[in-house]
Amino acid sequence: MQVNLKVNGRAASVDVPPNTLLVQVLREHLQLTGTHVGCDTAQCGACTVIVNGRAIKSCNTLAVQHEGAEVSTIEGLAAADGTMHPMQAAFKECHGLQCGYCTPGMVMSSIDLCKNHPNASAGDIRELLEGNLCRCTGYQNIVKAVQTGAAAMAAA
């Protein structure tokens, strides 16, 4: 089946079997390997991308379900000149990562979280990010990064 998407602002058309997952299209067909596969069961959030303005886990959704959709991945966040998105900069500034495996999905989820809950408390952030697992950090710096990123997004 042919699937037409707009990925990070660019048109993409791929021919895939109907059972191809969105994460497979991104990683294997479009070479956007920043979207990670952690658990293959939508439990860890490493595969989170934004589709039509909403964060989703791309490992449990078929590519054909997103015909014509706008998809944003971690690769599409930075400006053309390399300036990081405010949430990416906040994760760097606040040391909201260690090994980095969960970070792309965590950043994408955090952007969606801040758009929908711009004044979230630390407790709210922990609850709203519960679908994104990090095995390295204690989440303290992740929460701090989300709060910093939210403030920077609001100021932009």
Which CATH code fits 2-76?
3.10.20.30
Token pair 């709060």 in the structure block, residue: 147
Residue range(s) occupied by CATH 3.10.20.30 in the chain: 2-76
Q: What is the pLDDT of residues 2-12, one digit of tens each?
A: 999 999 999 99
Is residue 54 pLDDT above 90, yes or no?
yes
Total-model pTM:
0.95
Tell me: the pLDDT tens digits for 106-118? 999 999 999 999 9
pLDDT of residue 133: 93
Q: What is the model's pLDDT at position 61?
A: 97
Q: Where in the chain is the domain with CATH 1.10.150.120?
A: 86-155
How high is the pLDDT of residue 41?
87
Taking the C-alpha atoms of residue 88 and residue 100, their distance in angstroms, rounded to an integer, is: 12
What string of H, E and C letters represents the secondary structure of 70-117? EEECHHHCCCCCCCCCHHHHHHHHCCCCCCCCCHHHHHHHHHHHHHHC
| pLDDT score at 101 | 93
User: At the fourth CATH level, which superfamily is domain 86-155?
Assistant: [2Fe-2S]-binding domain (1.10.150.120)
Q: Is the pLDDT assigned to residue 28 strictly greater than 90?
A: yes
pLDDT at 137 > cutoff 90? no
Binning pLDDT at 50, 70 and 90, where does residue 46 land? very high
Mean pLDDT along residues 33-52: 94
156 has pLDDT over 90: no
Question: To the nearest whole percent, how much of the chain has pLDDT over 70?
Answer: 100
Q: What is the pLDDT of residue 129?
A: 95
With 90 as the cut, is the pLDDT of residue 42 above it? no
